A and B are shown apart, each in its own frame.
Chain A
Amino acid sequence: MILQFFAGVGATVGYALIFNQPRRHLIVTGLIGAAGWLLYLLAVELGNGDPFSSFLSAFLVTFLSQIAARVFKDPVMVFCIPGIMPIVPGAGMYRTMRAFVTHETALAAATGYNTISMAGAIALGLLAATSLFQIMAAIRRTFFSRIESK
Chain B
Amino acid sequence: MKIDEKRILLLALKAGELMLKSGGETARVEDTVVRICKACGVEDADVFVMPTGLFLTVNSPDKNISVQSYIRRIRGARTDLERISQLNTLSRRLENKELSFEEAEAIADGISREVQFAFPVRLLGAMMISSCFTLMFNGGLTDFITSLIVGALTYLFQMKLVARLQLNWFIETFLCCAAATIMAILFTHVGLGLNFDPIIIGSLMIFFPGVMITNAVRDILAGDTVSGVSRAADAVLTALSIAMGAAAIMAVYSGMGGVL
Q: Measuring CB to CB, which residues of chain A are less than 8 angstroms from any residue of chain B? A: 3-4, 6-8, 10-11, 13-22, 37, 73-75, 77-78, 80-82, 84-86, 88, 90-91, 93-98, 100-102, 119, 122-123, 126-127, 130-131
Contact = CB atoms under 8 A, between A and B. Distances in A.
A81 B221 contact: no
Given A77-B81, A88-B210, 10 more contacts: A10-B132, A11-B128, A18-B122, A19-B211, A22-B85, A73-B89, A74-B85, A81-B79, A88-B208, A100-B247
Contacts of B82: 20-22
A16 B88 contact: no
A105 to B, nearest CB: 14
Given A90-B201, A98-B250, A81 B128 contact: no
B85 A90 contact: no
Nearest to A125: B217
B101 to A, nearest CB: 22
A77 B215 contact: yes
B197 to A, nearest CB: 7
A122 B81 CA distance: 21
A36 B63 CA distance: 56
A8 B132 contact: yes
Contact of A126 (B136, B214, B250): B214
A3 B204 contact: no
B213 A20 contact: no
9 contacts: A11-B128, A17-B122, A19-B23, A75-B84, A82-B210, A94-B246, A130-B217, A130-B218, A131-B221
Contacts of A102: 250, 254
Contact of B125 (A17, A84, A123, A127): A17
A101 B125 contact: no
Contacts of B208: 85, 88, 90
